[in-house]
Structure 1
């Protein structure tokens, strides 16, 4: 009887990371269309700052009682995590979606696990298997291909706004490695809340020094865009980060950022529903990136 109970508990524990991964995929896969709808009323700077501000409102109060759990020497890593894992990407994705379909942005976001592995190898002493090089090459070929697809579905000039997505993925990847290397002993709720308390006031200062409130009062679609922005901040940037940080701590940065296997599918579904135009080359690029992530993870598990 005891053996059966232990087996059931172990099975439940093994399923939890998968469940968390699916929830994160749904929430973050929807974030690109939410950014797009927020941009119908607000500037990209306001969307970036608003996303962080509402995440700060949702979680910042938790830092009041939890801040003392973080040793002084680790606060610099919490700040780095907040900037690289939250603040910078919020602005980078917003500016990218002003010129790139939200579905394509979601596809390119799948580079995050590849960058997580690459940065871990270069700066955090992670070991590399020979086969993983092929995964990186596949991912980068897919990235370049996506960046060259023009409005007619053919290969053309580089769309430089996609570089903002690439930089955001690099930020996410660096943050994931920082969490695993320096912050793995801190509770994910504490970690996320304290990161928000550091960057939230910065976002609020910019947001309310702009015409954000005036747009809410005067624009006919303001309340719809505002509701998208609030959901994006509270759920996508706030509560979902707790699940992500938990995955990084208990499993690995690469597994956690593998949420991007499913994110492109969700993003594409929303894009199709919103009548965004996608071409065969977009799907080829997505397939190459996801194949690259698969190969990197496969050889990592063999090692």
Structure 2
């Protein structure tokens, strides 16, 4: 399949997988704390990736390891915990919409840190996207007064980390195989996740005997296999065959999938939130659109 067609196939599949990941996080939090969920998600994913590609680690050159470790921390480790904490207070659908900031942050970080020039259209897109974000948060706070929308900051921080990871992948790891990068990422973060899980209180009788644990772990298996392991490899491959901004624009379609699951699960999603979502996506489109 031609590269131009293949990148769209990857984009659609990733949108379906990652769009469903937010509701899986929400369901997992019924039986797990945010720290436990983040650690287990990383551990399960690492096991899946090690089974299929651990031998690839030896092909990573010593000088590339610092970038592999950094993208592992920024692209997976910290966001796994940040999204879990965020969804203890805000709806899964809102978290997915805020995740749409990744392409905008990719441009912002690309300009300020990686010296990638931005056009006037991209600057306008970033401004519009930020306005939409502010509207979404303010309206969500009024629509759900029992939720603490300050937790939206966790998602915004995670999107900055994702954006940094995308730029690093494109600039410094373009020559490394996508699966190899993913396996290397989890080699770097696997042990820290085990240590965190050990100190999280997971291995206590109260947690291990709770009836909510088994369904929560099932959700984590699904999330880890599809939402992290398979999707991570696909995303790394997408970054290789497309631009960083195109790769991060997977967030165009993700909110549609996530809002569908959220509403189906009883989450409130008002008209102004839909307008704010549209404004964010218009901003992302303008920032991404070529001349």
Distance 1:269 1:68, change over 3 A: same
Decide which structure has the larger Cα Rg and report it.
1
For the pair 1:233 / 2:219, whether they are aligned, the reply is no
Q: Distance in 2 between matches of 1:218 and 1:23?
A: 36
Matches within 5 A, 1:222-261: 222-261=213-252
Matched residue pairs, number? 290
Out of 18, 25, 35, the position equivalent to 1:35 is 25
Out of 201, 219, 242, the position equivalent to 2:191 is 201
Partner of 1:139: 129
Matches within 5 A, 1:40-189: 40-62=30-52, 64-150=54-140, 152-153=142-143, 159-189=149-179
Stretches of 4+ aligned residues off by more than 6 angstroms: none
Structure 1 alignment gaps of length 5 or more: 1-8
Name which of structure 1's ranges 55-64 and 88-97 shifts more when overlaid on structure 2.
55-64
Q: Report deviation, 1:220.
A: 1.4
Q: Distance in 2 between matches of 1:134 and 1:55?
A: 38
Q: Distance in 2 between matches of 1:58 and 1:297?
A: 33
Is the Cα contact below 8 Å between 2:74 and 2:164 reproduced in 1?
yes
RMSD between aligned alpha carbons?
1.9
Is the Cα contact below 8 Å between 1:63 and 1:194 reproduced in 2?
no
Helix, strand or coil at the partner of 1:210: coil
Superposed CA deviations along residues 1-47 of structure 1, whole A, max 9, x for unmatched, are xxxxxxxx54xx42211111111001100111000000001000011
Q: Report deviation, 1:245.
A: 0.5
Is the Cα contact below 8 Å between 1:62 and 1:190 reproduced in 2?
no
Partner of 2:259: 268
Out of 268, 276, 289, the position equivalent to 1:285 is 276
Q: Distance in 1 between matches of 2:113 and 2:206?
A: 44
Is the Cα contact below 8 Å between 1:215 and 1:222 reproduced in 2?
no
For the pair 1:212 / 2:197, whether they are aligned, the reply is no
Partner of 1:192: 182
Partner of 2:285: 294
TM-score computed with the length of structure 2 as normaliser: 0.95
Is the Cα contact below 8 Å between 1:148 and 1:158 reproduced in 2?
no
Distance 1:154 1:79, change over 3 A: closer
Name which of structure 1's ranges 169-178 and 69-78 shifts more when overlaid on structure 2.
69-78
